[in-house]
Structure 1
Amino acid sequence: MGRRAAGFLLFRRLCGQIEYLLLKASYGDFHWSAPKGHVDPGEDDFTTALRETKEEAGYDEKDLIIYRDKQVTLNYEVKGKPKIVIYWLAELRNPNQPVILSEEHSELKWLAKDAAKDLAGFKDYQEMIDKFHAMILDMDK
């Protein structure tokens, strides 16, 4: 059983554009990713996603439209150990509400789909952004 983590891929709509939030880690390889974190003992995945998003971006449940039925699970290895990360799609209700960064991150960017994919880098992460983007477009029909 690998380590589990959970988070939200946050998006906002600004001037007709869909933008995704990526945070730059202030540690390790300074990677960019959506708010997420390890599932604590006794905590369910969704509770973790809420807690980590509050800690890392300053948004709580009332700030977001959370699509509980829109979920992507990533399975990958970190230093040879399996890791499972569950993401849900969540929209920022007020697109101008600022992010409040924690010490875990040094920068943030709201980016259109392709720029977000370029910055995130990892293939499975890029595929996740594509999947969620297709879901958003589908909802907008």
Structure 2
Amino acid sequence: MMAGKEVVAAGFIVFRSLSSEIQYLLLQTSYGQHHWTPPKGHVDPGESEFETALRETAEEAGLNKSHLEIVDNFKKTLHYPVNGRPKRVVYWLAKMKDPEMPVTLSDEHIDFKWLKLEEANKLISQYKDMQTVFNETDEFLKTKGNNL
């Protein structure tokens, strides 16, 4: 049984389309085991989850709302324990308006990569639920095709 208040975080699965190839943005943390993750962070008091996703993506990757095209009707939520507390992470999907726009990392991260689905899944292989989100995202984008 998990004790404690639920921790809530939010972020974006950011992708770009380069010569008809979809690539996903992953950031490598500068803390812990230096795992790879989409930009995300904890919801601040008085902030909506969507506002958090925008703020954290701007802080962690230097990408603000003007750089991103938010994809309607796509939202994924993960639930998992962290340090004995339940955690809920909400992700929206965002396309880079300019696929060549540089990513600017905060001190919370030491590296970033744009990766195809298979490569992204290798980097996040210890997080099966995150892999599922990436797989579902890729399927969603393939069914949308050029309608994004």
Taking structure 2 as the reference length, the TM-score comes to: 0.93
User: Among residues 55, 65, 88, which one is paired with 1:84 in the alignment?
Assistant: 88
Structure 2 residue runs without a partner (length 5+): none
**Equivalent-residue separation in structure 2 for 1:138 and 1:89 (angstroms):** 15
- Per the TM alignment, residue 16 of structure 1 is displaced from its structure 2 partner at its CA by 1.7
Which is greater in Rg? 2
Q: Percent identity?
A: 47
Query: What do the CA deviations read for 1:38-88 (whole angstroms, capped 9, x no partner)?
Result: 000010000000000000000111111101420000000112211000000
**Equivalent-residue separation in structure 2 for 1:87 and 1:27 (angstroms):** 21
Question: Are 1:51 and 2:55 counterparts?
Answer: yes
**Equivalent-residue separation in structure 1 for 2:86 and 2:113 (angstroms):** 28
Please tell me the residue identity of whatever aligns with 2:128.
Answer: K
**Equivalent-residue separation in structure 2 for 1:114 and 1:2 (angstroms):** 31
- Per the TM alignment, residue 22 of structure 1 is displaced from its structure 2 partner at its CA by 0.3
Please tell me the residue identity of whatever aligns with 2:129.
Answer: D
Equivalent residues in 2 for 1:10-29 (5 A)? 10-29=14-33
Q: Who is 2:11 aligned against?
A: 7
**Equivalent-residue separation in structure 2 for 1:127 and 1:98 (angstroms):** 27
> RMSD of the alignment, in Å?
0.9
**Equivalent-residue separation in structure 2 for 1:126 and 1:114 (angstroms):** 10
Structure 1 residue runs without a partner (length 5+): none
Q: Which runs of 4+ in 1 moved over 2 A?
A: none
User: Among residues 127, 130, 133, which one is paired with 1:128 in the alignment?
Assistant: 133
- Per the TM alignment, residue 23 of structure 1 is displaced from its structure 2 partner at its CA by 0.2
Taking structure 1 as the reference length, the TM-score comes to: 0.97
